[in-house]
A and B are shown apart, each in its own frame.
Chain A
Amino acid sequence: MTSKALEDVKVAGLVQGITGPLTATMLAAYGAQVLRIESRTRIEWHRQAGPFIGNVSMPDRSAAYLFVNPGSYDFTINLKHPRAMEVWTRIVKWADVIVENFAGGVMDRMGMGYEDLKKIKPDIILLSAAIFGQTGPFANVPGYGGTLTAISGMAQITGFPDQLPQFPVFAITDFIAPRINVLAIVSALEYRRKTGKGQYLDAAQIESAIPLLTPVILEYEANGTEAQRMGNRCSYAAPHGVYRCQGENKYCTIAVFSDDEWQKFCEVTGHTEWNNSDEFNTLIARLKNVDQLDKLVEQWTMEHTAEEIQDILQAAGIAAGSVKSGQDLDSDPQLRHRNFYWTLDHPDIGDFTYTGMPARMSETPYEINRAPMLGEHTEHVCTEFLGMSDEEFVELMADGVFE
């Protein structure tokens, strides 16, 4: 039996949307026990977001929810119930890590802030993933992934120079923060192992996004230059871009870096005359005449499918690929080889496909388990994890605590 890297780690998530759940379920993929805390009194919006499996609009059938919540234990509780804090206290005692992504300050107002948690469990690790963090003048300003993609500077540098700023996958920061959160949490566990101390991780999403743009910041600070959108071009390679291919909405990418690659490119495209012309025979010349070059390259790519372009150029040792659609990804041989997609049975909806983890580990392979149904594990969690007697559980349930 293989072991799980994080099998000794217990995580409780008061999370919603993408950032919080993805943080928790990435930990679950590597073996952590993850408790997903929800409520029937206020259904999480991602369970209402869709698209819905079989077009049936029910909380357990929202693909947006299913995708970001694989492998967690689902637990419902009405935190406004007078007896909810009894249960919450036991969860905190059980957990090593609490993850939450309410707006800044909300946990404190609910009496569930770090200082409150520390009284229950002194070495608890709490990670809060608010857009702007817990302190500072904008701490209470609401927002979501799209807003943050704007504020973080990412949209400003995405697109063609004559195009509006673009929002990659609408809210790319939603996929940056969870990775940073997992790194911070596991590193905090390491610190706790050495020192016995827990801590509070104020993982402001804006602060985990900006370091990706450090060269853009440095260029402004040192040179006074503000980076602008530059499309798919590259200042040290040509051709370098996206080109139309045979078929509707079909494109390929091509990136030619060295002299050697350029010569081979001319050979395999059957256009050795390009390399003999003063307009294209040096990098400087190609950059200068890049509009003309791109047109000629596209005349060639339009004669082929994107897959053919990839095969022809890769055989010549040139970086190139097809621009993959959803359907292309589904049959992508490399993703298949790495078992990146996990199709798992779900009691209500049947098969649903989740994505795997980009980092594969040789000794402790990750594992994706299906997403839970609302409140599916409430009883199991109470009796198995929190050590409640059956009588106690039934009494609390009858009292309406687990709504």
Chain B
Amino acid sequence: MGTEKNEETMLGSYRVLDLSDDKGFYCGQLLGSLGADVIKVEIPGGDLTRNIGPFLHDVPDMDKSLYWMGYNTNKRGITLDIETSDGKKIFEKLVSSADVVIDTFEPGYLKKIGFDYDSLVQINPKIVLTSITHFGQSGPYSGLKASDLVCWGMSGMLFVTGDPDRYPVRVSHIPLTYLLASMDGALATAIALHWRATSAKGQHIDVSVQDSANKTAWMIHERWAVTGEEFPRGSSFYSVPNSDVKLRLVWPAKDGHIFYMIYTGAFGAAEDGRLVKWLDEEGMADDYLKGIAWSTLEWRKQTSEEANRIHDYFARFFATKTKSELLEEALKRRIMLQPVSSARDLVEHPHLTARDYWQDVAYPQLDMTLRYPVRFCLNSETPCKNWRSAPFIGEHNSEIYGDELGYSTSEIISLKEAGII
């Protein structure tokens, strides 16, 4: 499969060895979506992040982790203990055939087992090593233990997310800081390959999850640096600067929530008028609301009571309708309102369906298909898609060790029996 798609993909001529856990597995998946031949190298028995749910049909099984399967399509999977003598030999062979190695080990681990960047270059001078760690390869925090939540906290993102009178809170279910770092690793890897094409040199990429999250939460530091004041926590409303007014972003509908922000002045007045007309048609606007001069209304000159009074009209109105009722009419009336999508809203979204955004990926071993987002970018010449399903533990051991590296069946059996693969 690696060779046949060379011509029609962006990265089809490259091979990636992916040694990552959840800090980096999205990085390999992104490169694989663009056609790279990604080999996921797991410890014998399987990557431990396969133990993280949710699980297919709620059956806790390392080959049924939807968390793992979600971020590991586009990879072939092998198991290998790279700390053993035989494992090292095999890994060296793989490195000599590869262009990129992705790792998420603690800083210093690869050096300890003889595979740091300087050692890899001895095997393959053009190798690109992409290391994704919580805090980077060196520095006072480089030895600290962390997690997605800890990295959120260390980046400023946690400080501002949530309500002012409650605890800071993160995104649930997905390791967002790790995904951001994985994207940074993937783009830098592509850049390194671009430079390698003319320089014939590889290099070592050092991604810090803390930096990736911080780049995303830039306004926290910026606000302090520019104004000397801290960015206030509050992520379901917008705090109008120099006033007590809070503009709501999120409103309850009958069956969930919608997003809408009441802009005024030149930018918002026409839309405000259309929304009030809609309320009026449904008998939910009175003279006070209809009398508001939206084009001259400035939120920072209002009291919070006045602002809340205006907000309450819309809150009462939105609560009488479902998300889809609101969206359908808002589109007709040119009002910038959108649902807060649930998973179901996404898979049923008419726009995504019209763009063929969903791809049924076959899992023959499970006798089923699973529906995935097909791509992260729609390219006119070269598909970005799920080329293959996420591998089962050691699924491609015989293909890679036997067919590609030339180990005999009895040697592969010995390697398995010795716990090396």
Contacts and interface: CB of A to CB of B under 8 A. Distances in A.
Q: Do A and B interact?
A: yes
A362 B206 contact: yes
Contacts of A255: 146-147, 149-150
Given A165-B340, A207-B373, A133 B156 contact: no
Interface in B118-168: 135-136, 138-142, 144-147, 149-163, 166-168
B70 A207 contact: no
A43 B166 CA distance: 39
A143 B331 CA distance: 11
Contacts of B342: 153, 156, 220, 226
Question: Which of B7, B163, B171 has the largest count of A CB atoms less than 10 A from its CB?
Answer: B171
Contact of A207 (B10, B252, B331, B378): B378
A338 B208 contact: yes
A163 interface: yes
B221 A355 contact: yes
A190 B247 CA distance: 45
B274 to A, nearest CB: 13
A200 B153 contact: no
Contacts of B199: 3, 363
Contacts of B233: 249
A97 interface: no
Contacts of A190: 10-11, 190, 193-194, 197
Q: What is the interface residue range for chain B against chain A?
A: 35 or more
Contact of B56 (A63, A193, A222): A222
A153 B350 CA distance: 15
A193 B197 contact: yes
Interface stretch (A269-277, A282-290, A315-323, A381-389): A315-323
A46 interface: no
A221 B369 CA distance: 10
A136 B258 contact: no
B373 A211 contact: yes
B169 A199 contact: no
A355 B216 CA distance: 10
B170 A214 contact: no
A395 to B, nearest CB: 35
B250 interface: yes
B131 to A, nearest CB: 10
A222 B66 contact: yes
Question: Which of B9, B147, B168, B203 has the largest count of A CB atoms less than 10 A from its CB?
Answer: B147
Contact of A253 (B53, B158, B161, B252): B158
A293 to B, nearest CB: 15
A322 B51 CA distance: 28
A204 interface: yes
Given A169-B157, A220-B347, A334 B136 contact: yes
Q: Is the interface of A mostly helix, strand, loop or mixed?
A: mixed
Interface string B77-99: 00000000000000000000000
B419 to A, nearest CB: 22
A334 B140 contact: yes
Contacts of B355: 133, 135-136, 204, 207
Question: Which of B156, B376, B382 has the largest count of A CB atoms less than 10 A from its CB?
Answer: B376
A147 interface: yes
Given A325-B156, A340-B214, A230 B227 contact: no
Contact of A324 (B54, B154, B212, B354): B154
B295 interface: no
Interface string A236-274: 100011101000010111010100000000000000000
Contact of B215 (A8, A159, A183, A358): A358
A58 to B, nearest CB: 14
B211 interface: yes
Contacts of B259: 146-147, 149-151, 155
Contact of B372 (A164, A180, A214): A214
Contacts of A132: 351
A179 B211 contact: no
B23 to A, nearest CB: 12
A344 interface: no
B224 A330 contact: yes
B225 interface: yes
Interface stretch (A34-42, A74-82, A84-92, A170-178): A170-178
A57 B215 CA distance: 25
B344 to A, nearest CB: 6
A189 B174 contact: no
A244 B261 CA distance: 31
A158 B343 contact: no
A167 B258 CA distance: 12
Question: Which of A181, A317, A359 has the largest count of B CB atoms less than 10 A from its CB?
Answer: A359
Given A150-B341, A186-B190, A232-B149, A221 B370 contact: yes
B191 A188 contact: no
Nearest to B213: A358
Contact of B378 (A183, A193, A201, A330): A201
A242 B167 contact: yes
B183 A253 contact: no
B34 interface: yes
A284 to B, nearest CB: 14
A30 B191 CA distance: 8
Given A179-B180, A219-B343, A214 B205 contact: no
B396 interface: no
B226 interface: yes
B204 A223 contact: no
A330 B187 contact: no
B302 interface: no
B207 interface: yes
A360 B205 contact: yes
Contacts of A223: 54, 56-58, 66
A202 interface: yes
A157 to B, nearest CB: 5
A242 to B, nearest CB: 5
Interface in A301-331: 314, 317-327, 329-330
B215 A217 contact: no
Contacts of A216: 173-174, 343
Contacts of A182: 187, 190-191
A211 B32 CA distance: 14
A347 interface: no
A291 B71 CA distance: 32
A175 B180 contact: yes
Interface string B211-242: 11011111111111111001101011010010
A325 B224 contact: yes
Contact of A319 (B138, B146, B187): B146
Nearest to A29: B191
List the 10 shortest-distance A-B pairs measured between CB atoms, nearest first. A326-B224, A337-B139, A359-B188, A150-B259, A220-B343, A214-B70, A358-B211, A215-B70, A334-B141, A187-B10
13 contacts: A53-B226, A165-B340, A166-B161, A169-B161, A184-B379, A195-B7, A214-B372, A234-B149, A326-B225, A334-B142, A355-B215, A357-B184, A363-B202
Given A353-B222, A358-B184, 19 more contacts: A157-B174, A158-B169, A164-B252, A168-B171, A175-B216, A183-B186, A188-B382, A190-B11, A191-B9, A210-B346, A211-B376, A216-B174, A222-B56, A232-B170, A244-B167, A329-B156, A337-B139, A359-B187, A360-B136
